[in-house]
Amino acid sequence: MSVTRMLIGGEWRDAGSGRTEDITSPYDGSVVGTVPRAGQDDVEAAITAAEAGAVTWRRTPAHERMRILLRAARSVDERAAEIAKTITAENGKAIAEATVEAGRAGETIRLAAFEGAQLYGDSLPLDAHPGTGLDKVGFTVRQPCGIVLAITPFNYPALLVLHKVAPALAAGNAVVLKPAETTPLTALALAACFIGAGLPGNVLSVLTGHGSEIGDQLVSDPRIRKISFTGSTQVGDRIARHAGVKKISLELGASCAVIIMPDADLGLASDAVAAGGYANAGQVCNSVQRIITHHAVNADFLDALLPKVKAIRTGDPSSHDTTMGTLITAGEAARVQQSISAAAAGGAKVLVGGEREGSVVAPAVVADVDPSSPFSRQELFGPAVAVSTAKNWEGAIAQANDTSYGLSAGVFTSDVAGAVRAIREIDCGNVHINWTPLWRADLMPYGGLKASGIGKEGPRRAVSEMTEEKTIVLHGRPW
Ligand code: NAD
């Protein structure tokens, strides 16, 4: 298999060291591609190129940047089927899900392209400052940060790359992208669309390699002005410690809860949980991990949920008959299986699923889970939901908040007053009423509270966080 080279300063290159790495299918272990394994020299080359790219790109008018991004979006649309196959091959995501992800990619670029053309500032009422007359004019302008370092996880290898690269480019920044080591092929395919659309050479680099080898060097480099990271809280914490004085956005881990009250539509709630707990084999930051049912409807909810979970079909992710693919590695699948076994050993009941075959874990429902156990509080990132009960709104909201994370939550109820209370009191970045947390429109502000992160994504917010605000004062008189 030939090496898919990485992108540095507009050139498709091998690693300076000549090292390469095979990318394998999580499903059957077959080699689906080979990429360079970047080292320190490659990091230096990418950042040096980005310095030049940042100068070129900030001098490129917004309408031209927009035109290039729109061409890239069209190219991504045209290659969507091919990109979906690449996602399935390297990530193990069922092809039906990969097709949806690839289908959203072009639109994500278009949303960012538009926002990059909306860099408005404010006019400042300086005459309201005591002692100042009408002889001064003040306003703000936004300008690109310079070089944006984008570091992305494996679970949405197209969308999470584009939620960083597209707004960063739209806002006029040069970008150094470090995709997850398990899913670099999708990132390289997307980068080719930007280059094909006419992006100047030095503006985008993609370094394939391991965060544990090149992460600290990238993150601590003073030429990087903004870091946009999505991944685990553990790595996010390390990045925050190494970054120094820079702008940082961190989209991190989660243990998302769904509350189901007695006046909920249990058919709707069970449909939504059967989708939101198992999409991408539960490897989604806003996956349903915890279900907090009112004790009066716990049994009825489980009766409605179990047949829907049993109907999920695992198997070859490239088959259209498969509705749930693999975990990212057999090691991750073993970790998830062990977590389910540990919950059972602690007194929880595994009602269905939890068995492992290679990198596939059968979708599981685990009831009677102790809300203070690691199975509930820590991130699982696998295809299982943990069910526990509460007596009332007070108890349900307290349980939902009983984790260090705070990304997203869902509430099923027809009680408007209760819903309003939940909206106000659940400490999460996103709250969904009558749906699960696993829902995202690419345009909406998206990000977590507490250990789930800092800052927001979504093209409008990302463009704002990837630009600097400058205050300008024109002095008609010098005092
Ligand atoms: P990860 O933290 O292991 O890796 C993410 C990226 O960080 C990879 O590109 C990796 O190479 C890089 N990295 C590793 N060590 C580094 C270092 N020292 N310095 C710099 N970069 C380094 O995460 P993962 O396993 O790929 O993804 C799963 C995690 O991502 C889960 O915790 C999940 O909740 C989180 N996630 C969060 C969101 C969100 O929006 N909040 C979205 C998707 C995934």
Ligand 1: distance of its center to the CA of 17 in Å?
Answer: 25
pLDDT per position as a tens digit, 82-134: 999 999 999 999 999 999 999 999 999 999 999 999 999 999 999 999 989 89
Ligand 1: distance of its center to the CA of 216 in Å?
Answer: 14
Ligand 1: distance of its center to the CA of 475 in Å?
Answer: 48
Q: How far apart are CA 274 and CA 310, in angstroms?
A: 9
Contact indicator for 33, 23 with CB cutoff of 8 Å = yes
The pLDDT value recorded for residue 477 is: 84
Mean pLDDT of 214-239: 98
Closest C-alpha to ligand 1, atom 34: 253
pLDDT per position as a tens digit, 264-299: 999 999 999 999 999 999 999 999 999 999 999 999
Residues having CB closer than 6 A to ligand 1 are 151-155, 160, 178-181, 210-212, 215-216, 219, 230-232, 235, 238-239, 251-254, 285, 379, 381, 407, 448, 452-453
Contact indicator for 377, 289 with CB cutoff of 8 Å = no
Mean pLDDT of 29-47: 98
Contact indicator for 366, 376 with CB cutoff of 8 Å = no
The pLDDT value recorded for residue 479 is: 67
Under the phi-then-psi rule, with left for phi > 0, alpha for psi from -120 to 50, and beta for the rest, what region is 61?
A: beta
The pLDDT value recorded for residue 478 is: 74
The pLDDT value recorded for residue 34 is: 98
Q: Which of 435, 469, 407, 445 is nearest to 111 (CA)?
A: 445
Sign of CA dihedral 46, 51, 56, 59: positive
Q: How far apart are CA 198 and CA 383, in angstroms?
A: 41
Substitution candidate for ligand 1 out of 178, 232, 249, 403 with most atoms within 8 A of CB: 232
Ligand 1: distance of its center to the CA of 156 in Å?
Answer: 11
Q: How far apart are CA 119 and CA 117, in angstroms?
A: 6
User: To the nearest 10°, the Cα dihedral for 346, 351, 353, 354?
Assistant: 0
Q: Which of 197, 189, 204, 176 is nearest to 11 (CA)?
A: 204
Closest C-alpha to ligand 1, atom 24: 153
Closest C-alpha to ligand 1, atom 14: 211
Closest C-alpha to ligand 1, atom 10: 211
In three-state secondary structure terms, 103 is: helix
Q: Which of 254, 260, 322, 309 is nearest to 99 (CA)?
A: 322
Residue 322 predicted with pLDDT over 90: yes
Look up residue 157 and give its two tokens: 């290898």
Closest C-alpha to ligand 1, atom 16: 211
pLDDT per position as a tens digit, 144-184: 999 999 999 999 999 999 999 999 999 999 999 999 999 99
Contact indicator for 138, 124 with CB cutoff of 8 Å = yes
Ligand 1: distance of its center to the CA of 459 in Å?
Answer: 20
Residue 223 predicted with pLDDT over 90: yes
Burial class (CB in 10 A: 0-12, 13-18, 19+), 334: middle
Catalytically active residues, by annotation: 251, 285
Contact indicator for 440, 410 with CB cutoff of 8 Å = no
Contact indicator for 434, 135 with CB cutoff of 8 Å = no
Kind and range of the H or E run holding 65: helix 62-78
Bridging pattern class, strands 384-390 and 356-357: unpaired
Contact indicator for 219, 149 with CB cutoff of 8 Å = yes
pLDDT per position as a tens digit, 392-404: 999 999 999 999 9
Substitution candidate for ligand 1 out of 93, 152, 155 with most atoms within 8 A of CB: 155
The pLDDT value recorded for residue 1 is: 57
Q: How far apart are CA 405 and CA 402, in angstroms?
A: 8
Contacts of 24 (CB under 8 A, 6+ apart): 30, 31, 32, 90
What is the C-alpha radius of gyration for the chain, rounded to an integer number of angstroms? 24
Mean pLDDT of 209-227: 98
Distance of CA 366 to the CA centre of its chain: 26
Q: How far apart are CA 143 and CA 310, in angstroms?
A: 52
**What is the pLDDT of the chain when averaged over all its residues?**
97
Alpha-helix residue ranges (DSSP H) falling in 144-252: 159-170, 184-196, 211-220, 233-243
The pLDDT value recorded for residue 2 is: 77
